Chain A
Amino acid sequence: MNQSRKILLLEFGWWFIWTCLQMTALLLAGFSWKVSVVDSIITNFILGWESYSIIMMLKVYQPDKSKSYYLLFWSAALAGISVVVIEFALSFMFADDVAYLQFLDTTMLLRFGFAFLMLAFVSVLGWVWFYLQSQQENEIRKADVEKLSRETELSSLRQQLQPHFLFNSLNSINALIQSEPTKARSMVQQLSDFFRGTLKKQETHRVTFAEELNHLKLYLEIEKVRFGHRLKTEIDHDEQSVSRLIPSLLLQPIVENAIKFGLYDVRGDVTLSISAEMLEGDLMVCVSNPYDPESAPPSKGTGFGLSSISRRLYLIYGRNDLLTIEKDATVFKICIRIPQSV
């Protein structure tokens, strides 16, 4: 059974009971059946209808706690209107019953009091009911939001750990232990330094370009152990750029993608270059790798995380024009302009 029908049924039952009570009282007071029945039905029908409207209204709009006295105003206003309507209707219908008319006049205030209390009672009850319900919904929503943010955090943690890179590096170390133990040792060291650097850094921090570059070099050194026969790197930057500030780990995903694309999109040798220079007071960093414009990635979803990088740039600098891509027949180049005047 849905909520509206439940409310309707409850309302009906409640006002039916009051109709019976009022009718009995009128009969005991010596009024005729006709008068008793009509009076109690009209009175309770109007009140019932009004209380139902209040509840339906509360369903869509609940005044907050500080404005809960509104409920009393509404009840008083509706009680006033209903008494006037009842008085008018009944005195019209029983215009020749003098005793009843007199009774109607003397009970006016009583009727108003009764209507007011009834409506106030129903509206407070309804308000509490809907208030609890919205409270419950809020709890659920809050739990959902928390769950979502936990999942996001988890996936960014996974991202940081890069399981594929980690396991492949460990596999290389495993091979080196037998053939070149010293090299195995130095790779363990590099891998540790790299992951420590990744974990220490927070996305909100800014570091010098030199610091970011050292982290990238560490990463490239490890990749060279794995792909040394194919992978070459060129790093080129001017004197001024090293001390400039850059959001930490901004370049990391770009270099990772460049490596991935370079190594898996092309057979044979791959040269990855990173260059940095000053441009109109801003730091300009470019990363380029060879690629094959004809080929398609093996599956969807392996695409670039470029949109997340430009989103990050937008969040930090409020600009959408900082990331540019240049492609020619064989080279894919991404440039990022990092404003320095902030």
Chain B
Amino acid sequence: MKVVIIDDEPLARSIVKEYLDSFPEIEIVDECNDGFEGVKAIQQHKPDLVFLDIQMPKITGFEMLELLEEQPSVIFTTAFDEYAMKAFEAHAVDYLLKPFSKERFAKAMEKWRTQSKSAGSEMVHRLLDDTASQFEGQTNRIVVKVGNAIKIIPIRDILYIEAYGDYVKIHTKEGFFLKKKTMSFFEHSLDVSNFARAHRSYLINIQELNKIEQREKDSHIAILKNGTVVPLSKTGYARIKELLKI
């Protein structure tokens, strides 16, 4: 069984390693200092289990998971308070609150072992879909992968988001980036006073809106500052009017 430990504190990793000594079937294949190394290690080793810290340099543990095509089984290790971690319970992904005892650690391992691998990764998927953004508060940035590089897009740089099959296209001044998420995920995690669902397939940054024009009797289009034309649905038009108080 292959395990990867991702934590920015060496001592925090060493306690996990020490506790893992009592599990002879476990092999620690890699240790990572942050999410960047984490993504590489997970893609390279395809571990059966990942111990993951949440607060890390540059990108959080959640953001790192979002960058992976295939979700590994994860046990979170964090010092966040219990209240904040309540969100996890519904998803049965286990989490260890630092500092944790050897007994608690063994229990988490037991829980992981009794879950099938696919069930575990399914849970992480669901966790990322509904609780991660809620847990971190209003998102202020989106992390995407461009080839092998990782790019952090501040929300204010987004022009609009477009549905694209199972993905979304996040359009910025530098071009667009793909991310495997749903439109409704962004509709709920982005600041509602700045982003409006203009159409089933479009979410626009209100700051980037230049004007709204009438096309036919009942249909409108939005023109962004960079010239992009976005169709407006009836409800989308109403939403934007309400947002702009017109």
Contacts and interface: CB of A to CB of B under 8 A. Distances in A.
Q: Choose among A163, A171, A179, A226 the residue with the greatest number of B CB atoms under 10 Å from its CB.
A: A171
Contacts of B80: 164
B15 interface: yes
Contact of B57 (A229, A265, A299): A265
Interface string A166-203: 01101111111011000000000000000000000000
Given A170-B98, A175-B14, A175-B18, A298 B140 contact: yes
B81 A168 contact: no
Given A264-B58, A295-B58, A298-B140, A170 B11 contact: no
A265 B12 contact: no
B11 A167 contact: no
A69 to B, nearest CB: 54
Nearest to A225: B11
A175 B15 contact: yes
Interface residues of A, number: 30
A263 B57 contact: yes
A286 B56 CA distance: 26
A266 interface: yes
Interface string B116-151: 000000000000000000001111110000000000
A301 interface: yes
Interface residues of B, number: 35
Nearest to A266: B57
A175 B136 contact: no
B101 to A, nearest CB: 9
Nearest to B60: A298
A297 interface: yes
Contact of A175 (B12, B33, B34, B58): B12
Given A226-B9, A296-B155, A174 B15 contact: yes
Nearest to B35: A267
Nearest to A297: B140
A227 interface: yes
A205 interface: no
Contacts of B98: 167-168, 170-171
A300 interface: yes
A179 B138 CA distance: 40
B146 to A, nearest CB: 15
Given A264-B57, A265-B58, A299 B136 contact: yes
A301 B97 CA distance: 23
A167 B99 contact: yes
Contacts of B141: 295-298
Nearest to B136: A299
A172 B80 CA distance: 15
Given A167-B98, A267-B57, A299 B9 contact: no
Contact of A301 (B59, B137, B156): B137
Interface string B20-38: 0000000000000110100
A193 B55 CA distance: 26
Contact of B136 (A176, A179, A298): A298
Contact of A172 (B9, B58, B100, B138): B9
B48 interface: no
A294 B138 CA distance: 19
Interface of A: 163-164, 167-168, 170-176, 178-179, 225-227, 229, 263-267, 294-301
18 contacts: A164-B80, A170-B98, A171-B12, A171-B100, A172-B9, A173-B99, A174-B15, A174-B99, A179-B18, A226-B9, A229-B10, A263-B8, A296-B140, A296-B154, A298-B136, A299-B136, A299-B140, A300-B137
Given A164-B79, A263-B57, 20 more contacts: A168-B9, A168-B79, A171-B9, A171-B15, A171-B99, A172-B9, A178-B18, A225-B11, A226-B9, A226-B11, A264-B55, A264-B56, A264-B58, A265-B57, A265-B58, A296-B140, A298-B140, A298-B141, A299-B137, A301-B138
